[in-house]
Structure 1
Amino acid sequence: MRLALFISPRRVGILLTIVVIGLSIISFAGQFSTYVLGHGRVFGLVRLFDVGQDSNIPTWYSSIMLLFCSLLLALIAKSQKTARTRYILHWKVLAAIFLYMSIDEVAMIHENADIILGSHISRTGFLHFGWVAVGIPLTIIFVLSYLKFLTHLPKKTRLLFVVAGTIFVSGAIGAEMFAGRHNEIYNLDLTYAMITAVEEFCEMFGIVVFLYALLSYINEHLQEVNFSIKEAVQAK
Structure 2
Amino acid sequence: MKNTYLTGGLVKRAPLPPHQVTAGQHVRVAFNERRLVRVLAVTAAVLVVVGFWSIYSVRFLPDFFAREMVWSLTYLNGETNLPALFSTLNLLLTAAILGMIAVVKRNVHDPFARTWTGLALLAAYLGVDEGASLHEKLIEPVQKLIRLDGIFHYAWVVPYGLLALTVLVVCLRFLRHLPPGIRNAMILSGALYVTGAFGLELVEGYVQTHMGRDSFWMEILIACEEALEMAGVILLIGTLLRYIRLYLPGMEVRLGVQDSSGPRPG
**TM-score, structure 2 length as denominator?**
0.84
Distance 2:218 2:207 in 1: 6
Moved more, 224-233 or 57-66: 224-233
Is residue 2:30 matched to residue 1:3?
no
Q: CA deviation at 1:48?
A: 0.7
Match of 1:95 in 2: 120
Distance 1:71 1:98 in 2: 9
Q: CA deviation at 1:38?
A: 5.8
**TM-score, structure 1 length as denominator?**
0.94
| Residue 256 of structure 2, aligned match among 216, 222, 229 | 229
Identity %: 24
Match of 1:208 in 2: 234
Q: How do 1:140-179 and structure 2 match up within 5 A?
A: 140-179=165-204
State the Cα deviation string for residues 33-54 of structure 1 (Å, max 9, x = none).
Answer: 1222265971411021011111
- List 4+ stretches of structure 1 deviating above 6 A: none
Question: Structure 1's 38 and 180: CA in aligned 2 closer, same or farther, altered over 3 A?
Answer: farther
Distance 1:38 1:150 in 2: 52
Match of 1:29 in 2: 53
More helix by share: 1
State the Cα deviation string for residues 146-180 of structure 1 (Å, max 9, x = none).
Answer: 00000111111101100000000000000111011
Distance 2:59 2:70 in 1: 15
Code of the residue aligned with 2:175 in structure 1: it is L
Bigger Rg over Cα: 2
The alignment yields a C-alpha RMSD, in angstroms, of 1.8
Is residue 2:152 matched to residue 1:120?
no
Structure 1: which 5+ residue stretches go unaligned? none
**Contact 1:54–1:106 (Cα < 8 Å) also in 2:** yes
Moved more, 101-110 or 41-50: 41-50
**Contact 1:35–1:189 (Cα < 8 Å) also in 2:** no
Q: CA deviation at 1:86?
A: 1.2
SS at match of 2:40: helix
Structure 2: which 5+ residue stretches go unaligned? 1-24
Match of 2:99 in 1: 74
Distance 1:73 1:170 in 2: 22
Distance 1:183 1:37 in 2: 24
| Residue 208 of structure 2, aligned match among 183, 200, 225 | 183
Match of 2:245 in 1: 219
Q: CA deviation at 1:125?
A: 1.1
Question: Structure 1's 28 and 147: CA in aligned 2 closer, same or farther, altered over 3 A?
Answer: same
SS at match of 1:101: helix
Q: CA deviation at 1:107?
A: 1.2
Is residue 2:212 matched to residue 1:192?
no
Aligned residues: 236
| Residue 18 of structure 1, aligned match among 23, 42, 53 | 42
